[in-house]
Amino acid sequence: MFVWADGPSMMLFAAAVSGVFVNGQYTWMAAWLPELFPTRVRATAAGFVFNMPRLMAGPGPIISGWIIANLGGFSYAAVTIALI
C-alpha cells in the first residue's frame, strides 16, 4: 500500500487500514496466550510475549527516518522496513 501512497494523507489512510488488521491480534492474545504456559511462569511468559516485540521495534523510527532521508521518500522507506 505504501508504494502507491502519493502524499501524507494517503499514507495516513493506508496506515489506519493496516493498523486495524495488525491490532486484531491483541484481541485473542490476552485470553488464550496465558493458558499455554504453566501457572508458575504464566505472568512472566505473557509479559515477555507482549513486550519483546516492542523492544525489537524501538529502533524502527530511527532506521526509517534514515532511510527516508537517504533513499528519497516515504514509499521506499516503507517497503524497506516491511522487507526487514
Q: Per-residue pLDDT tens for 24-44?
A: 777 777 778 888 889 899 889
Give the pLDDT confidence score for residue 28 in this predicted structure: 73
In this predicted model, which residue has the larger pLDDT, 2 or 71? 71
- Enclosing domain of residue 10: 2-83
Domain count across the chain:
1
The rounded distance, in Å, linking the Cα atoms of 10 and 34 is 38
pTM: 0.47
Whether the CB-CB separation of 49 and 34 falls below 8 Å is answered with no
Cell of 61: 523510527
- C-beta neighbour count of 56 within 10 angstroms: 9
Mean pLDDT is lowest, of 5-9, 37-41, 44-48, for 5-9
Helix, strand and coil content of the chain, in percent to the nearest 5, comes to 85, 0, 15
pLDDT at residue 75 tops 70: yes
Neighbours of 74 (CB within 10 A): 19
Q: What is the mean pLDDT of residues 38-59?
A: 88
* pLDDT of res. 2: 64
